[in-house]
Structure 1
Amino acid sequence: MSTFWFDLRHMRLKDFSATVKRAKSIVKIEIEVSDHGSLGFLLEELRAVERAQIAADKKAKEEAAAAKRKKPLALPAPLLGLPYYGEEGK
């Protein structure tokens, strides 16, 4: 989970809304920024969150692929059902 710090001197919450579709929700937040340094800081924080999400997704995919590779692809072949006729030489 990430936390965002707002510089109240240079940032102002303009608007926010939420949309719900089935099990997922989308929250949109508009922030008005009056200082270029604060804008840069905010964008860097958002980029760090994006990188963390990409890394987590990549790790989950690699773990799933590794688990899939470890599973046997098929059952071993059954033993041949050769009949036994007893000892023929005696």
Structure 2
Amino acid sequence: MRLIATVVLPGATPSILTGVRYSLGLSWLALVVAEQINAQKGLGLLIYNAQSLFQTKILMVVVVVYAALGLITDVIVRLAERRLLAWRGR
């Protein structure tokens, strides 16, 4: 257990956190695709209605909201990554 706690886990932490960032990005992409396929409310319905009514301003706002959500998620994970890697170095 001591070997795992002092060598294996600290050595694997950067790879684990990279995997978390990557999987969160893919999960946002999957959410956007799922909302576009079967939108009954939310951003998916808003973008569907805006597309059918040729309201490009609303389309752009929804795209910016999607981008902001992805960016916020990435920033949170990067901050957690920085803290965990700094803590690991102690």
- After TM superposition, the score normalised by the length of structure 2 is 0.46
Q: Could you say which structure has the higher helix fraction?
A: 2
Q: Could you say which structure has the higher strand fraction?
A: 1
